[in-house]
Structure 1
Amino acid sequence: MASEVGIDLGTANVLVYIKGKGIVLNEPSVVAVNKDTDEILAIGEEARQMLGRTPANIVAAKPLKDGVISDYDITERMLKYFIRKTCGSGRFFKPRIMVCVPSGVTEVEKRAVREAATQAGGKEVYLMEEPMAAAIGSGLDVTEPDGKMVIDIGGGTTDIAVIALGGIVTSTSVKVAGDKFDESIIRYMRKVHKLYIGERTGENIKQAIGTAFPREEEVSMECRGRDLVTGLPKTVDITSEEVMEALEEPLHLICEAVHGVLEKTPPELSADISSSGIVVTGGGALLYGIDRKIQERTGIEVRIVEDPKSCVAIGTGKALDELDAIQSNSLNRKDPFN
């Protein structure tokens, strides 16, 4: 049975890391509930397949929005399911749990996450800010005095932080990330093509031909939805250039947030970042050309880590191993794990 568990409680996906085993679970943060009986019908990938396809008495929804809990009861039940699925359901066994939260959450939101993890079966629950976990998971030595800049683009939030000596020197969290990319694509299809598409179709377009920087060779795909004029099913072709146009606004907001953090960074650490570059993690890092988009805006070399989606979960697990060392090295914060 697992004694130490790291959880990346994301808006889009939940990843569970178990000490000695690595990542044992990666499922969408979606729950399907019967409104009449309050019974949970499906959790994870099975529930995601139901999005936009349920009858009136069944709701398939995400209990986390913009990186924080929007439905406490459903989040607790979802966490309990994932912990039991990965750690077993021993009544007397309770693991130590490290859960990641966005860098800008309030004390009330932190308490909600901590209580949900405790009710789900945690003996001791620690909270860790996502950029710190992403930095550890990507292999950066966060205890060094040299400044490191990390951008974690998740489903609900983009967390940007400058890290040195085991602590976060300056950071920001903006509620613009993967979900906003999907929404921008959906809005573009309605405005330009008069086509109404659902969340899953918007996400599929983003993953297939989404782009943040001009491609050398343009790609396209068929997109199916409902014609807003006739009300009938309709198919249109959409190109990667059109998707880049659709994503222009959310990408601009992320680049502005990065610029804002760099402006607040002490000059010595700015010099370190200029030479070492910026590291990008999270599922949003998989968007084509996002590294070149940020590099064009900042003039600093940008690197995407090898497995960006898993970085935060791996970082939480590693942080549990080195809990004492990181806490003693944190000079700018009394408790880096909140």
Structure 2
Amino acid sequence: MFGFGTEIGIDLGTASVLVYIKGKGIVLQEPSVVAIDKNTNQLLAVGEEARRMLGRTPGNIVAIRPLKDGVISDYEVTERMLRYFIHKTCGRRRFFKPKIIVCVPSGVTEVEKRAVIDATTEAGGGTTYLIEEPIAAAIGAGIDISKPDGNMIVDIGGGTADIAVISLGGIVVSESIKVAGDKFDEAIVRYMRKRHNLLIGERTAEDLKVNIGTAYPRSQILKMECRGRDLVSGLPKTITVTSEEMLEALEEPVTAIADAVHAVLEKTPPELAADISDRGIVMTGGGSLLHGLNQLIEKRTGIPTYIAEDAISCVAKGTGMSLESLHILEKSMISSKSFSRLR
């Protein structure tokens, strides 16, 4: 594969990376985890293979998540991870560097934007554009954002929850909070430690969240076995956890997201607020799949709240599809060329 003029969109998420190639759709979905040998600085594994190593590596191997709260926390490792994914999807033999659009949370700083553009360019990208996650999510969810109508998007990923009101191709009001999927996992770990004196890992917490986690009372109580280390005896222990306990464990982070949605609605111009009341709120991202979160937001705001179809890949789809709408979106995007002019 020679990759003539390839155009790709990258959803560079805290939890996972999705790559969309124009004309092909989503071609890659991998966890954003990298395993490195500390002695030789050699890249051992990237993606799902590296994720399986989390918490299970010997002293000389470290499994790193190079993105934290939606932004780059380890520049060099992020660059190596991006290089691996670009080579995997576009091939190594390329006459032209691919045009790339990368999505970033709506609250990132100029320094954080520059870090993303530099890492993508160093990894083998050509002209690199940035697009804010709520705009990409809205496009991926099938919403026509070019019209003068108010649309509200709640995008909950691994590191950040982005809430935005969009009209005429741009963001009118937005809020980005660092409470999302990772904070749900942390809340479950804390709860299990405090309530059951049981120490569990991130992967176990994620399994509990996916299988029995809830943000709103379930009609039927679910149960699941959970294994960890007893903090009293120091020995392995298995207990049964219920969905009611998960409701209690997740109360703080889900309330923070509902509060942020409420705060954005308070700042929304009245005409757009009326549109949102008619159209409803659209939720995207993996975090939106937490059972009952849409019901909680609907109860809090009084506005119908829907989960987008294929919510996990909405941002990646929108990022790739926005390549076809650059003329509409250029006002709300920044490219590597504009950054080079600023230097």
Q: Secondary structure at the match of 2:311?
A: coil
Match of 1:213 in 2: 216
Structure 2 residue 73 is matched with structure 1 residue 70: yes
Contact 1:167–1:336 (Cα < 8 Å) also in 2 = no
284, 307, 310: which one pairs with 1:307? 310
Q: What amino acid does structure 1 have at the position aligned with 2:324?
A: D
Match for residue 325 of structure 1?
Answer: 328
Amino acid at match of 2:238: T
1:26 aligns with 2:29: yes
* 1:246 correspondence with 2:243: no
What is the aligned partner in structure 1 of residue 113 from structure 2? 110
Residue by residue over 1:71-111, the C-alpha shift from the partner in whole angstroms, topping out at 9 and shown as x without a partner, is: 00000000000010001012533100000000000000000
Change in CA separation of 1:250 and 1:231 when aligned onto 2, cut-off 3 Å: same
When the two structures are superposed, what TM-score results if normalisation uses the length of structure 1? 0.97
Please provide the CA RMSD for this pair.
0.9
Deviation at 1:134, TM superposition (A): 0.0
Structure 2: 5+ residue runs without aligned partners?
Answer: 336-343
Match of 1:44 in 2: 47
Q: Is the CA contact (8 Å cut-off) linking 1:33 and 1:42 kept in structure 2?
A: yes
**Percentage of matched positions with identical amino acids:** 68
Contact 1:10–1:156 under 8 Å retained in 2: yes
Q: Secondary structure at the match of 1:310?
A: helix
Deviations 1:255-301 (A, max 9, x none): 11111111111011001101100000000111111110110111100
8 Å CA contact 2:30–2:47 kept in 1: the answer is yes
What is the total number of aligned residue pairs between the two structures? Answer: 332
Structure 2 distance, partners of 1:39, 1:312, is: 31
1:12 equivalent in alignment to 2:15: yes
Q: Which residue of 2 aligns with 1:83?
A: 86
Kept after mapping to 2: 8 A contact 1:143/1:164: yes
Is the 1:12–1:156 contact (alpha carbons within 8 Å) kept by the matching residues of 2? yes
Pairing of 1:1-338 with structure 2 (within 5 A): 1=3, 3-327=6-330, 334-337=331-334
d(CA) in 2 for partners of 1:156 and 1:101?
Answer: 11
Letter in 2 for 1:320: L
**Preserved CA contact (<8 Å) 1:101 1:127:** yes
Return the letter of the residue paired with 1:230.
Answer: S
* C-alpha contact (below 8 Å) 1:181/1:247 kept by paired residues: yes
**Which whole-Å deviations, capped at 9, do the CAs of 1:237-261 have from their partners, x for residues lacking one?**
0001100110000001101111111
Q: Equivalents in 2 of 1:108, 1:336: separation in Å?
A: 15
Cα distance in structure 2, aligned partners of 1:258 and 1:276: 16
Aligned mates of 1:325, 1:248 — CA distance in 2:
40
Partners of 2:170 and 2:332 within 8 A in 1: no
Report the AA paired with residue 312 of structure 1: V
Moved over 2 A (4+): 334-338
Alpha-carbon distance between aligned partners in 2 of 1:325 and 1:33, rounded to the nearest angstrom? 41
CA distance in 2, matches of 1:119, 1:292: 43
Specify the SS of the correspondent of 2:119.
helix
Amino acid in structure 2 at the alignment position of 1:93? F
Measured in 2, the distance between the counterparts of 1:95 and 1:81 equals 14
The one-letter amino acid of 1:57's match is N
Alignment check: 8 A CA contact 2:11 2:315 kept: yes
Query: Do the aligned residues in 2 keep the contact of 1:14 with 1:29 (CA within 8 Å)?
Result: yes
